[in-house]
Chain A
Amino acid sequence: GAGVSQSPRYKVAKRGQDVALRCDPISGHVSLFWYQQALGQGPEFLTYFQNEAQLDKSGLPSDRFFAERPEGSVSTLKIQRTQQEDSAVYLCASSLSAPTNNEQYFGPGTRLTVT
């Protein structure tokens, strides 16, 4: 079946621009996660949704970062007034339900470059 999809795959933004990154989880998956992966590093947690509820946003680095999942399926990660340090790959992952959050399935990521 279809895996997690993300769009766009690549995004170049000028410093100060706003960007929106989209994640389509696996159909029926209740849990959705966003991670940020800097070059040469492992993914770092940003935020977690269970259905439409954002249960954990402790990893969002600043109030310029905002995520939503209004209908409990597709999610959008928005970054306002992008800075160069926001350049990274943004990964979305989903899992079937909270008890199976050990099995997180990742999308291909969106590579954001801020110039």
Chain B
Amino acid sequence: QKEVEQDPGPLSVPEGAIVSLNCTYSNSAFQYFMWYRQYSRKGPELLMYTYSSGNKEDGRFTAQVDKSSKYISLFIRDSQPSDSATYLCAGRGNTDKLIFGTGTRLQVFP
């Protein structure tokens, strides 16, 4: 079993929709949780990270962590075609390395 599980998608939504992207994890040592966006043939781009449980908002993006259920979410409001990309969640515990999920491919159509 992978330490971070993520549905690969693709997830296809119309422009303007609210998108919900989710991950589960198994490593209880994870304290930090990250969301990266990766466009085709590019490197991952950090969107935001959170510490422990709770919510964090940045513009149209909201990250949510529920450590009790080991569940991580990213919400995108007013989705745009330019949001079409693969979204990677990651966790970090007591070491410096990030453990990534497989990524969810999102397609936002006009």
**With contact pairs A41-B102, A42-B102 given, residues A103 and B46 touching in the complex (Cβ less than 8 Å):** yes
Interface size class of B (residues with CB under 8 A): 20 to 34
- Kindly state whether residue B100 has any CB partner on chain A within 8 Å: yes
Shortest beta-carbon distance from B53 to chain A in Å: 16
Contact A43 B96 (CB under 8 A): no
Task: For B46, give the chain A residue with the smallest CB separation.
Answer: A103
Contact B99 A102 (CB under 8 A): no
Contacting residues of chain A (1-46) with chain B, CB-CB under 8 angstroms? 4, 31, 33, 35, 40-45
CA distance A45 to B41 in the complex (A): 19
Contact B96 A101 (CB under 8 A): yes
Interface size class of A (residues with CB under 8 A): 20 to 34
Shortest beta-carbon distance from A44 to chain B in Å: 7
Residue interface bits B3-47, CB-to-A below 8 A is 1, else 0: 010101000000000000000000000001010100001111110
Shortest beta-carbon distance from A55 to chain B in Å: 7
Shortest beta-carbon distance from A5 to chain B in Å: 10
Contact A59 B97 (CB under 8 A): yes
Contact B97 A33 (CB under 8 A): yes
Contact A45 B99 (CB under 8 A): yes
Task: For A50, give the chain B residue with the smallest CB separation.
Answer: B96
B88 CB contacts on chain A under 8 angstroms: 42-43
Q: Of A45, A108, A111, which is within 8 A of B97 by CB?
A: A45
CA distance A42 to B8 in the complex (A): 10
**With contact pairs A42-B100, A108-B42 given, residues A102 and B49 touching in the complex (Cβ less than 8 Å):** yes
B45 CB contacts on chain A under 8 angstroms: 106
B103 CB contacts on chain A under 8 angstroms: 41-42
- Give B contacts to A, CB under 8 Å: 4, 6, 8, 32, 34, 36, 41-46, 49, 88, 90, 92, 95-103
List 7 A–B pairs whose Cβ atoms lie within 8 Å, in order of A's numbering.
A43-B100, A48-B97, A59-B97, A98-B96, A106-B36, A109-B42, A111-B41
Extra contacts, 11 of them, besides A33-B96, A42-B4 (Cβ < 8 A), are A4-B43, A40-B8, A41-B102, A41-B103, A42-B6, A43-B88, A43-B98, A59-B97, A91-B44, A102-B49, A102-B92
